[in-house]
Amino acid sequence: MSSVVDFKEVSTVGLETSPVADALAGLRANEARYLKNKFDHDFVVMDASEAEDVVAWIHNILAQERDLHIASRPLQACVFEADGAKRAYVFYESGLSINVLYGIADGDKRAVGFKLSDGMEVPEELADKFKFARQKSKLAGTIRGSYFVIKGEY
C-alpha cells in the first residue's frame, strides 16, 4: 500500500521496526519537504515488498558500481520522474536511506546518495568506503550524507 509522506505531521508508519524509527521518519519527511519545494512533487512511498523492482535496481547499481551489498532490510521504496531524471529511494530498517538520481538523457547527472538517520552507526559495508558530511535538519536532526557518481548504464 502506498502513502504520501507528510512533512508537517511526521509519522513512523511503515518504519516502526527500525531502532531509529523517529529519526528515520524525520529523514523521510525531510526528503518529502525537499521534493515538494523543489519540484512540487508529493513524495509517495510503498512497502519495499511492493517495490521489489526498485530495490533490485538500486542494489544492482550498488553491486555493479562499488561492489556494495546492503545488509539491512529495506522497509519502504519509491521511484518517480522529476526534472528530467528518474529518482528512486529506499529506506532501510537500520536508518539508512539510499537515493538514486539517474538523468534520462545521455550526459545527464547520475549519482547514488546515502543518508544516515540521527543516532545510527555507519553501516559496516559503507564505513571504509565513504566519508560522511553532516547537515542539520529541523525534521531529521543531524543527517550524515555521502554519494558517488554512477558511471555505467542502468
Residue 154 belongs to some domain of the structure = no
Residue 135 belongs to some domain of the structure = yes
Distance CA 103, CA 2 (A): 25
Q: Which domain holds residue 65?
A: 2-149
Count of domains observed in the chain: 1
pLDDT digits (tens, 9 = 90+) for 97-148: 999 999 999 899 999 999 999 999 999 999 999 999 999 998 899 999 999 9
**26: burial class by Cβ within 10 Å (0-12, 13-18, 19+)?**
buried
Please indicate, yes or no, whether the overall pTM of this predicted structure exceeds 0.85. yes
- Residue 7 is predicted with a pLDDT of 95
